[in-house]
């Protein structure tokens, strides 16, 4: 496998097929917080002053919390009842965002995979409209199920191993120094070992998931069959897949170093362009909320949009690398020597829909 050629082709496809960018940006948007953020806050009126508060006069932690609440609510001008309603609304919005992000994530992932496969197969172009049509197909649902099938057992095993690793701490209940030393020592050793095991297992499952996504999207296989085929492909082509993973790891580290100075510059711009008007409004009104309503959105736009765009390009490139890698391995197995995927695997025609 020519690794350099795969990276070059992925970079060329990413740069020249700009219809892919939208789906990479969507994937970046729902895959975490790639754009960073901006926060600004200051108090007015009564500041949080503990000099007049005697901790010894408070007989419970609840009173201390009440003191903090009185300080904050007096400054912000909101009641406990209003805060409860706001928190409920925020919780509902977060839940709705979670549902939307799940749908968008697998839709965008499916679209990227099939668009890149189509470009590689035909050496042609692909449009945003075709991307929406390719992404909104059953393989996106299979990808969601693939993550569930792989993720839930991994989470349960991780919880079990962590519980086992922390269990020697029960020796701290024994009233001897030697037992406590043994308990702490065993806990450290077990946790180091289990964390290493979980990291390796997490990486392996992540690679299997990438290959399984492409099995589902390009071969029309169902969830369990895609996972089985991905595991077989990883086992039989371990060295090839491992090299690709290491290359992407190195590229990811380098990309992070490139983004760091960009983030610093954007942060300074956000502090000036968002913080300056917010500070002036605060000085004029002596209230927090108008300042936040101006400063926070401006700062988020200045920092968020450029980083979101750049991260979207990176997500597109990474997806293209994995798609081209999967395709090379598949062609190697069937012995087509680069002649292309069979008709039923054509991205624009759509894969045969398999059952779970």
Q: How confident is the model at residue 63 (pLDDT cuts 50, 70, 90)?
A: low
Could you give the CA distance from residue 146 to residue 329 in angstroms, rounded to a whole number? Answer: 20
pLDDT single digits (tens) 321-334: 999 999 999 888 87
Tell me what percent of the residues of the chain surpass a pLDDT of 90.
Answer: 53
If DSSP codes are grouped into helix, strand and coil, which group holds residue 345? helix
Of residues 33, 6, 36, 1, the one with CA closest to residue 248:
6
Give residue 73's pLDDT. 53
pLDDT single digits (tens) 147-164: 999 999 999 999 999 999
In the DSSP assignment, the letter for residue 17 is -
Task: Kindly tell me if the per-residue pLDDT of 166 is higher than 70.
Answer: yes
Q: How confident is the model at residue 203 (pLDDT cuts 50, 70, 90)?
A: very high
Tokens representing 198?
């979980």
42-57 mean pLDDT: 42
Who has greater pLDDT, 53 or 65? Answer: 65
Tokens representing 21?
């960018």
Give residue 336's pLDDT. 55
The H or E element that residue 259 is part of is helix 238-273
Contact 236, 287 (CB under 8 A): no
Tokens representing 6?
């795969």
167-190 mean pLDDT: 89
Task: Kindly tell me if the per-residue pLDDT of 92 is higher than 50.
Answer: yes
**Average pLDDT of the chain to the nearest whole number:** 81
Give residue 342's pLDDT. 42
Who has greater pLDDT, 53 or 312? Answer: 312
Residue with tokens 């590229």, as numbered in its chain:
251
Give residue 13's pLDDT. 93
Give residue 122's pLDDT. 85
Give residue 291's pLDDT. 67
Q: If you average pLDDT over each of 18-32, 51-65, 315-329, which comes out highest?
A: 315-329
Q: Residue 340: which region, alpha, beta or left (left: phi > 0; alpha: psi -120 to 50)?
A: left
35-61 mean pLDDT: 41
Least confident of 157-171, 185-199, 226-240, 333-347: 333-347
In the DSSP assignment, the letter for residue 137 is S
Tokens representing 57?
């006069």
Give residue 35's pLDDT. 36
Tokens representing 176?
């001897």
212-232 mean pLDDT: 92
């Amino acid at each position: 496998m020519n690794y350099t050629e795969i990276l070059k082709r992925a970079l060329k496809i990413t740069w020249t097929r700009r219809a892919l960018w939208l789906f990479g940006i969507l994937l970046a948007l729902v895959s975490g917080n790639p754009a960073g953020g901006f926060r600004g806050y200051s108090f007015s009126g009564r500041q949080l002053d503990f000099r007049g508060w005697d901790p010894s006069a408070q007989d419970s932690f609840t009173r201390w919390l009440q003191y903090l609440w009185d300080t904050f609510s007096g400054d912000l001008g909101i009641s406990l009842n209003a805060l409860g309603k706001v928190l409920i609304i925020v919780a509902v919005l977060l839940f709705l965002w979670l549902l939307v992000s799940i749908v968008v994530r697998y839709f965008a992932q499916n679209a990227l995979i099939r668009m890149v496969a189509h470009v590689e197969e035909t050496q042609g172009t692909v449009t945003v409209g075709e991307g929406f049509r390719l992404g909104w197909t059953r393989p996106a649902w299979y990808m969601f199920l693939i993550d569930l099938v792989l993720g839930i057992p991994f989470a349960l095993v991780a919880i079990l191993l962590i519980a086992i690793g922390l269990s020697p701490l029960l020796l701290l209940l024994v009233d001897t120094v030697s037992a406590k030393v043994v308990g702490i020592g065993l806990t450290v050793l077990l946790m180091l070992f289990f964390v290493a095991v979980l990291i390796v297992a997490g990486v392996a499952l992540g690679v299997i998931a990438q290959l399984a996504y492409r099995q589902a999207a390009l071969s029309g296989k169902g969830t369990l069959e895609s996972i089985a085929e991905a595991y077989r492909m990883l086992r039989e082509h371990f060295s090839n897949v491992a090299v690709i993973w290491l290359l992407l790891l190195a590229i990811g580290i380098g990309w992070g170093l490139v983004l760091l100075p960009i983030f610093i510059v954007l942060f300074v711009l956000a502090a000036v362009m968002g913080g300056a008007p917010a500070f002036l409004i605060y000085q004029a009104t002596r209230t927090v909320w108008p300042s936040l309503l101006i400063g926070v959105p401006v700062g988020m736009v200045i920092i968020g949009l450029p980083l979101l765009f750049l991260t979207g390009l990176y997500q597109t490139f990474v997806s293209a690398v994995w798609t081209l890698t999967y395709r090379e391995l598949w062609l190697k197995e069937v012995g087509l020597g680069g002649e292309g995927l069979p008709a039923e695997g054509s991205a624009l025609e759509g894969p045969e829909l398999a059952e779970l």
